Amino acid sequence: MADILLLVLKITMIIFMVGNLLDLGLRLDLKAALGGLKDVRFVTLSLLWAFVLCPAVAYGLTLVIPLKPAFAMGFMLLSLAPCAPLLPMVAEKAHADLNYVASFILLAAFGTVIYMPVMVPVMVKGLSVSAWTVAKPLLFLVVIPLVIGVVVQNRWRAFASRIQPFVKKVTGIDTLVMLICVVLIYGKGFIGSFGTYAIGTQVIFFTVITAASYALGFGMPPGQKSVVSLGICTRNNGAAMAPLLIAKDVDPNALVMVSLGIPLMFAFAVIGAKVFAGRAGRVEEGVPT
């Protein structure tokens, strides 16, 4: 039974990643996204937080908090994979600049595919995988679906509008099945993680990266700072879990640690969106923040 559930989880994880990236591509305004990429400050801070400071914060926490090796492995993988598919939803609630949301998604998607294969063998101790082993699933599950969606949206817009709701609905059903599988497979692991510093470490991590990435916006308007902060605090759990699902003899606690990030990052994203929306409203009214 456990083997069947694990197989179902792998299949639903693939559909989750492909479906969400295809859905994003079908809705992505390429012209707006490319326009945001011309903003040097936004691009620099986005890349700095996504691929330098977040992993650095996570690595620092593993040095001072006595995590079990498997938990540390999953935690580091989580730190290397920014931007969950729910970013557009929470960014809209935060009154963020939606054009820059598209730009951040492009940066995160292509950056993850380039960055993770290089850094996983270096930073994730105990995981024996080559750079190509990490890159291959990311290429097929992140870049290709996104590119297909963008091409369809820009060349056959009416067709994209028709199929996008169907893709979104299928992906939503798949996400529910995937979460049920995660609970059934790793539910005991979640309970067992209490008292192991796993949850506390992630709470500290999400608190630091969410607050600091917004506070250290260095001159960006609130709408852009919200995009960076929410893009940073949401994690691409599918990309983080991919190396663990293809590697051999992986300690299940590593998968538990990545899975724990799903409810935690969702909670921080929702809370962050509410806080940032309030700050955006005060700025629009001319009240100092």
Q: What is the 3-state secondary structure (H, E, C) of the chain?
A: CHHHHHHHHHHHHHHHHHHHHHHHHHHCCHHHHHHHCCCHHHHHHHHHHHHHHHHHHHHHHHHHCCCCHHHHHHHHHHHCCECCCCHHHHHHHCCCCHHHHHHHHHHHHHHHHHHHHHHHHHHCCCCCCCHHHHHHHHHHHHHHHHHHHHHHHHHCHHHHHHHHHHHHHHHHHHHHHHHHHHHHHHHHHHHHCCCCCHHHHHHHHHHHHHHHHHHCCCCCCHHHHHHHHHHHHCECHHHHHHHHHHCCCCCHHHHHHHHHHHHHHHHHHHHHHHHHHHHHHHHHCCCCC
Let me know: does 116 contact 42? Beta carbons within 8 Å: no
Count of CB atoms situated within 10 Å of the CB of 211: 15
Query: What CATH number did the domain enclosing 16 receive?
Result: 1.20.1530.20
| pLDDT of the residue at 263 | 86
| pLDDT of the residue at 179 | 83
| pLDDT of the residue at 281 | 64
Report yes or no on 264 lying in a domain: yes
d(CA 120, CA 243): 9
Let me know: does 16 contact 160? Beta carbons within 8 Å: no
pLDDT at 136 over 80: yes
Q: What is the mean pLDDT of residues 238-250?
A: 82
d(CA 261, CA 78): 8
| pLDDT of the residue at 289 | 47
CA 69 from centre of chain:
22
In DSSP terms, 235 is beta-bridged to 82
Report yes or no on 220 lying in a domain: yes
Report yes or no on 184 lying in a domain: yes
Q: Read off the tokens for 142.
A: 């992140």
Nearest C-alpha neighbor of 67 from the set 54, 78, 83: 78
Residue 123 domain boundaries: 2-282
Report yes or no on 15 lying in a domain: yes
Tell me the percentage of the chain whose pLDDT exceeds 90. Answer: 39
Report yes or no on 181 lying in a domain: yes
- Least confident residue range of 59-63, 162-166, 280-284: 280-284
Nearest C-alpha neighbor of 111 from the set 80, 85, 79: 80
- Reported as a single tens digit per residue, the pLDDT across 162-181 is 999 999 899 889 888 988 88
| pLDDT of the residue at 135 | 85
| pLDDT of the residue at 200 | 93
Reported confidence tier of residue 185, pLDDT bands at 50, 70, 90:
confident
Torsion angle of the four alpha carbons 220, 221, 222, 227, in this order, in degrees rounded to the nearest 10: -60
d(CA 168, CA 211): 30
Q: Vertex 15, ends 236 and 141: CA angle to 5°?
A: 55
Q: What is the mean pLDDT of residues 203-211?
A: 96
Count structural domains, the chain.
1
- Reported as a single tens digit per residue, the pLDDT across 9-55 is 888 888 888 888 898 888 887 887 888 899 999 999 999 999 999 99
Report yes or no on 287 lying in a domain: no
- Least confident residue range of 57-71, 150-164, 240-254: 240-254
| pLDDT of the residue at 134 | 83
pTM: 0.85
Stronger pLDDT, 242 or 65, i.e. the higher one: 65
Q: How far is CA 223 from CA 9, 121, 209, 273, in A?
A: 36, 36, 17, 11
| pLDDT of the residue at 238 | 83
- Reported as a single tens digit per residue, the pLDDT across 96-127 is 988 898 899 889 988 998 888 888 888 887 77
Report yes or no on 288 lying in a domain: no
| pLDDT of the residue at 283 | 54
Report yes or no on 149 lying in a domain: yes
Reported confidence tier of residue 82, pLDDT bands at 50, 70, 90:
very high
